[in-house]
Structure 1
Amino acid sequence: MGIKRRLLFQNLTIISLTIALLLGILISGIYHYYYNGTADILKNHAINSAQFADRYMNISTYTLRSHLSEIQNNFSLPQAEMQILDANGDLLSSSSGFQHDHTSQFKDIEEALHLESGTWMGHHPITQEHILAVSVPLMEEKKTVGVLRFVTSLEPLDDNFRTIIGTLFIIGLIILIIVFLVSKAFARNIITPVVELTEVSQKLAMGKLETQVVGTYKDEFQTLSKSFNEMAKELLKTQQMKNQFISSISHELRTPLTSIKGWSETLLAGDLRNVNETETGLTIISNETNRLIGLVEELLDFSRYSKNTFQIFPSLFSFDSLLKQVILQFDKKIKSRNLTIVFENEEPIELKADENRIRQVLINLVDNAIKYSDTNTTITIHYELSHRFFYFGVVDEGKGIEENQIHNVSELFFKVDENSEGAGLGLAISKHIIELHHGKLFIESKKGIGTRAGFKLPISPIQQADAK
């Protein structure tokens, strides 16, 4: 059963039970009002009549028959048959003029003969008419000398009661139909967003990641639709990043492999005694191999990053020595672009951190500074140890980064220049490394002026003492 049917079924069930309960209460109230009210009227009149007769007419077993006409004239009730019975329950007189047999068989008469007022409601055994009868005893010195009985037909009352019940049922049915229509509209309002969200989720599952929830909803459905759209955007972004990553990695792997294969074939087909050619080829093969190793290391780091298994192993090491090693590593690249490296300070500093991971961060920051610097410009490097933090920054005079792209630079697979080397993992992994050290990676840039990138690390108590 679908949600719509369940909602309709639940609403109709609740409303039906409510209407049935209200109808039951109303019918019960109306029944008691009409039937018990009629019985009370007859009973009160019969009791008052019997008391008056006992007090003022000197009725006895011997004089009862002589007072029949007087009793009939004084105590008769419109729309009710008045009967007078003797102490044996035999009918002596009736205002209707009809004589009835076996009147003593009625329950109300039996109770009246035992000095109690009696009421009986049912169908007459002969005529099958629905009647109400009330009987009270006529007494002389606490002895029953006769019975005063009033009988009225309930057929008109039954007709009115059935009419009222029918009207109430029609009203209940109208209410139920209105509730059904309103519930159907409400259910549609609930089901419509559910159906659309279901269709959107199915399209997303089929890979149609550009799908969006277009309906405008309220309350929780608005939040849910926004969440769906955000999820679709993130999935689409992830899909694009994956495609970009595959494309970038394929390109990055193909280039060194092509060089390695080309120079390998050249060396095999050439004269191995040509020292210059052999040395050049082997140098290129070695460089491209190192480049492949670097790419593989980045991919391994990315795998650890994705699985959240990235770990650091802090130890004390000489930061200034490590930085010089990194700069020396890029010596050829620096000279080829005629760049100048300026150290604002070169004081020896002992830093407690993961040396290999910090090396990885420095390589990435310095390589980016060299890569995006214009030729014949200066790269400035500054680092210092304060009482609470260690600061490192590298400033280039290169192309700079658009302001709207700065916050994306440290994201996975993002590259300012799609044609540049690398897979766009370096800064994202560097940021993760610094954050594992409880530090912060920062990038500030202005288009056409240059970029300042670096990091800030909190220092340990031992380093604080050394800094003082």
Structure 2
Amino acid sequence: MENKVSFSVIHGLRFKTALLLLLIGILPFMVCVPISLRAYKSVSIHTDASNLMAQAAQYNTQIVTTGYILGEKNSLLDTELKAIAASYNGRILLVNSALKIVKDSYSVDIGKTIIWDNIIHSMQGDSLYYFDEDTNYLIVTVPLSNSDGDIVGTLVINKSMEYINQNVDIFVSYILIGSVVVCTLAVVIALFFSIRYSRPIRKMSDSLDAIIREYSNELPEVRSYTELEEVSGKFNEVIKKLQAIDESRQEFVSNVSHELKTPLTSMKVLADSLNGSEDVPIEMYREFMLDIGEEIDRETKIINDLLSLVRMDKSGAQLNVSAVNINELIEHILKRLKPIAEKADVEVVFESFRPVVAEVDEVKFTLVVTNLVENAIKYNEEGGWVHISLNSDHQFFFIKVEDNGLGIPEDSVDHIFDRFYRADKSHSREIGGTGLGLAITKSAIAMHNGEVKVRSKLGEGSTFDVRIPLNYIDKEVH
């Protein structure tokens, strides 16, 4: 359990935010300090080298004109150069053109030959410096020239740079104190901002937990980051959609129970009436049995429609797609519905603007056309008309089913595709509809990646516009 809690804390946004802010505060400090120390050391060496070269150049004329470079004695120069060497805690050598040491502030290597790249380059006119990391000494070589411009020797000055290490040690001690302060501030700031930044997310998490435990049914409005506000809004949309689905499911179960119970109740009443009466005339038996048969047919139709919906609603439902001549299919459907239209005294007209062949599931698409046209006939007046048109472009084909029948109330248009919904309940009962036909129609159209729209005005008729792709594309194919 403790390991699980530790894992949760480490992978939490608050911990990661605090760690990120801590690194942002400390890393620049850790990177800048070594760079600053190195830069200080480099600048100090270069500055001291430049000063030593300038100082050596000041003695050029005096060393050359007095013959000091040739080894002649000059107590004044001896004293000055030894004093300079002592002040630098270093050493001064005077090397002639033959690379022999003429003067030495230590007086130990006079007469010896010295061969070193920097001295050789200085004999060619270059002023150079070199810093020895091991001994911590700066060595400067400066060429000495006569009045004719000829190089007659080199002045070599060694200077101890120990003061740099001493200064660095002082800096490091201050830096350690500063680093403690910086780290402490970084930790405090990181914790403060991590708590502040993660608080809205924690509130959202608590709100979601309350929704899960059914204490609440909506996320409170979060005033924080734009992205989090958008996420909160999307969550509320999803929650409302799930609530609508749950309400729809409950209503669906209630409607199914009611629709299935009604025919059974009617049959029970009819059967009890027959069983409870003696010497019932044969005509009454026949009448009651016809009524029972009609209720059985109605029950069967409801069950068949429900089964159709269930098959379409299944996530793995498949279409048996094939190339179908839509013109011929619609004509065949209208031929089957002709007796219903003639009985209702409704004129059915089919208008085709071009031949259309599309990839559809013939059985399910037949349900679409049948339900739309049959509804247009049934919910019509005597002497009315139904107009079906077929057209297409390069991508879709279009079916329009238009009638001048009863129409749909404005407040019912958005609900006519809901299961068991009836805009005119009394008329629907007379006709014998189940309230599932348009729900089946919409599901079948959706399975074909199509869409259906309706326009209607009460007392003037309705128009259903269906658009379906000519070529079926499986949504699971990417």
Q: State the TM bucket, normalised to the shorter chain.
A: 0.5 to 0.7
Matched, 1:381 2:381: no
Matched, 1:256 2:263: yes
1:243 to partner: Cα distance: 0.4
Shift in alpha-carbon separation, 1:410–1:20, aligned structure 2, 3 A: same
Matched, 1:453 2:462: yes
TM-score normalized by the length of structure 2: 0.64
Q: Distance in 2 between matches of 1:431 and 1:442?
A: 11
Q: What is the match of residue 336 of structure 1?
A: none
Contact 1:82–1:149 under 8 Å retained in 2: yes
1:292 to partner: Cα distance: 0.9
1:231 to partner: Cα distance: 1.0
Q: Distance in 2 between matches of 1:250 and 1:365?
A: 28
1:205-244 correspondence to structure 2 within 5 Å? 210-244=217-251
Contact 2:351–2:390 under 8 Å retained in 1: no
- For these two proteins, the number of residue pairs brought into alignment is 409
Q: Distance in 1 between matches of 2:417 and 2:332?
A: 27
Q: Which amino acid aligns with 2:246?
A: Q
Q: What is the match of residue 465 of structure 1?
A: none
Structure 2: segments with no counterpart, 5+ residues: 1-10, 123-127, 357-361, 392-398, 468-478
Match 2:438 to one of 414, 427, 440: 427
Q: Which amino acid aligns with 2:386?
A: Y
Shift in alpha-carbon separation, 1:410–1:457, aligned structure 2, 3 A: closer
Q: What is the match of residue 317 of structure 1?
A: 332
Structure 1: segments with no counterpart, 5+ residues: 95-99, 125-129, 329-340, 371-377, 459-468
Deviations 1:284-327 (A, max 9, x none): 32122111112112212212332465779725237377254267
Q: Distance in 2 between matches of 1:385 and 1:327?
A: 16
Deviations 1:159-211 (A, max 9, x none): 44444455566667766666666665665565445445545555666677823
Shift in alpha-carbon separation, 1:153–1:382, aligned structure 2, 3 A: closer
Q: Distance in 1 between matches of 2:350 and 2:145?
A: 127
Q: Distance in 2 between matches of 1:290 and 1:152?
A: 114
Q: Distance in 2 between matches of 1:75 and 1:169?
A: 40
Shift in alpha-carbon separation, 1:311–1:390, aligned structure 2, 3 A: farther
Q: What is the match of residue 72 of structure 1?
A: 79
Contact 2:386–2:403 under 8 Å retained in 1: yes
Q: What is the match of residue 406 of structure 1?
A: 413
Contact 1:76–1:82 under 8 Å retained in 2: no
Work out the percentage of aligned pairs sharing the same amino acid. Answer: 17
Match 1:393 to one of 389, 397, 403: 403
Q: Which amino acid aligns with 1:317?
A: H
Shift in alpha-carbon separation, 1:277–1:37, aligned structure 2, 3 A: same
Q: Distance in 1 between matches of 2:78 and 2:31?
A: 47
TM-score normalized by the length of structure 1: 0.65
Q: Distance in 1 between matches of 2:142 and 2:204?
A: 76
Contact 1:380–1:396 under 8 Å retained in 2: no
SS in 1 for 2:405: strand
SS in 2 for 1:317: helix
Match 1:442 to one of 454, 457, 460: 454
1:240 to partner: Cα distance: 0.4
Q: Distance in 2 between matches of 1:161 and 1:169?
A: 12
Q: What is the match of residue 464 of structure 1?
A: none
Shift in alpha-carbon separation, 1:247–1:380, aligned structure 2, 3 A: farther
Shift in alpha-carbon separation, 1:111–1:93, aligned structure 2, 3 A: same
Q: Distance in 1 between matches of 2:456 and 2:271?
A: 43
Q: What is the match of residue 127 of structure 1?
A: none
Q: Distance in 2 between matches of 1:302 and 1:283?
A: 29
Structure with the greater alpha carbon radius of gyration:
1
Greater mean alpha carbon deviation, residues 244-253 or residues 35-44: 35-44
Q: Distance in 2 between matches of 1:361 and 1:59?
A: 122
Contact 1:138–1:148 under 8 Å retained in 2: no
